[in-house]
């Protein structure tokens, strides 16, 4: 069951450098939210605060709250590893475990979660690969290395790996930027299917992609060099692309800067 994300007053630092400041937003379950904005405005940083990956960077820390169905992910006693299981992530460059087989790539997270029975693993691996629209292409090579797949297949393998553990939320940081147009469309179609089960947040520099895949769009911007990134507005995607409330949003999506 997907859950609602509720962020309030979130500020994130790298050591003394404040990268993003005072971000608040809600994200409804089973929606796709796109994060757009110029390079360096903190989209990736903010995304990583949503599953406690930000603090993995030395000096990385946050202030503020991130609630997942009312529970603060930064609350005392919360295990960041458990958070990352609930809030999965897909990165810009497909990063399958290179020496592991296709099967083991998808099974890796399940094994960490204690699933041992071969038949259970097989069932979930098949279901996840089908869910990632990759099954037909790999069903005869499950024992071959994940690194032997094409870039687009590798990215869908990473999506299969992420959804195998049934997260509540799926975070995707420019998941198509290393893919050709056909693989990109395959991943976009997949996002449309996955949102029936998951809450999805996607960072993209591709305005058409944001318009195609997302229900809501958040525009981030920098007030100046060295200043922290801020959320400028978040609204229905249709509205952001037709009639945004803020001039800077309009300038950005129409390509006047950024
Ligand atoms: N590991 C890091 N250590 C120190 N500063 C960092 C680190 N990663 C990012 N930053 C800084 O945080 C700010 C936001 O960076 P971030 O990568 O989140 O931007 P972005 O919006 O994702 O940019 P892009 O569109 O280029 O991916 C930038 O000023 C950047 O230099
Ligand atoms: Mg980024």
* CATH code: domain of residue 219: 3.40.50.300
Q: Look at residue 156 and tell me if it is in a domain.
A: no
CA of 136 to the centre of ligand 2 (A): 32
The whole-angstrom separation of Cα 125 and Cα 154 is 15
- In sequence order, the 6+-apart residues with CB closer than 8 A to the CB of 118 are none
Strand partners, 35: 203, 218
What integer pLDDT is reported at residue 24 of this predicted model?
98
What integer pLDDT is reported at residue 2 of this predicted model?
58
Q: Using an 8 Å Cβ cutoff, are 183 and 155 in contact?
A: yes
Mean pLDDT over 78-83 rounds to 95
Q: Look at residue 152 and tell me if it is in a domain.
A: no
| pLDDT 10s digits, 33-46 | 999 999 999 999 99
Residue 254 predicted with pLDDT over 70:
yes
Q: Which ligand is nearest to the CA of 225?
A: 1
Q: Whose CA is nearest to atom 27 of ligand 1?
A: 39
Mean pLDDT over 179-190 rounds to 91
> How many secondary structure helices (H) and strands (E) does the chain include?
10, 10
Q: Whose CA is nearest to atom 26 of ligand 1?
A: 39
Tokens of 3: 């859950």
How many of the other CB atoms lie within 10 Å of CB of 15?
10
Sheet holding 229-236, edge to edge: 71-72, 60-68, 5-14, 17-27, 229-236, 216-222, 32-36, 199-203, 169-173, 87-90
CA of 27 to the centre of ligand 2 (A): 20
How many CA atoms lie less than 13 Å away from 241 in the CB half-sphere?
A: 17
What integer pLDDT is reported at residue 256 of this predicted model?
75
Whether 258 is in the pocket of ligand 1, judged by its Cβ within 6 Å, is: no
Mean pLDDT over 65-83 rounds to 95
Range of the domain at 53: 5-92+168-253
| pLDDT 10s digits, 120-171 | 999 999 999 999 999 999 999 999 999 999 999 999 999 999 999 999 999 9
Q: Look at residue 222 and tell me if it is in a domain.
A: yes
Domain tally, the chain: 1
Q: Would you give the distance in Å from CA 102 to the centre of its chain?
A: 21
Q: Look at residue 106 and tell me if it is in a domain.
A: no
Tokens of 157: 């393998």
Q: Whose CA is nearest to atom 16 of ligand 1?
A: 42
> From the alpha carbon of 48, which atom of ligand 1 is closest?
18
The whole-angstrom separation of Cα 67 and Cα 5 is 6
CA of 208 to the centre of ligand 2 (A): 18
């Amino acid at each position: 069951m997907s859950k609602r994300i509720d962020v309030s007053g979130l500020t994130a630092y790298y050591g003394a450098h404040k990268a993003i400041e005072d971000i608040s937003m809600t994200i409804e379950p089973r929606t796709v939210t796109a994060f757009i904005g110029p390079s360096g405005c903190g989209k990736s940083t903010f995304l990583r605060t949503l599953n406690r990956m930000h603090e993995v960077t030395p000096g990385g820390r946050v202030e503020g709250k991130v609630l997942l169905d009312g529970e603060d992910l930064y609350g005392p006693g919360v295990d960041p590893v458990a958070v990352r299981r609930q809030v999965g992530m897909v990165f810009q460059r497909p990063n399958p475990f290179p020496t592991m087989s296709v099967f083991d790539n998808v099974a890796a997270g399940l094994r960490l979660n204690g699933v041992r029975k071969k038949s259970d693993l097989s069932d979930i691996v098949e279901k996840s690969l089908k869910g990632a629209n990759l099954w037909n292409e790999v069903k005869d090579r499950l024992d071959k290395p994940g690194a032997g797949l094409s870039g687009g297949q590798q990215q869908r393998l990473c999506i299969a790996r992420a959804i195998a553990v049934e997260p509540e939320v799926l975070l995707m940081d420019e998941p198509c930027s290393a893919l050709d147009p056909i693989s990109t469309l395959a991943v976009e179609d997949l996002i449309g299917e996955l949102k029936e089960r998951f809450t999805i947040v996607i960072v993209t520099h591709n305005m058409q992609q944001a318009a195609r895949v997302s229900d809501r769009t958040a525009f981030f911007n920098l007030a100046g060099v060295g200043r922290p990134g801020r959320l400028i507005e978040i609204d229905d995607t249709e509205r952001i692309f037709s009639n945004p409330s803020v001039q800077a949003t309009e300038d950005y999506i129409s390509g006047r800067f950024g």
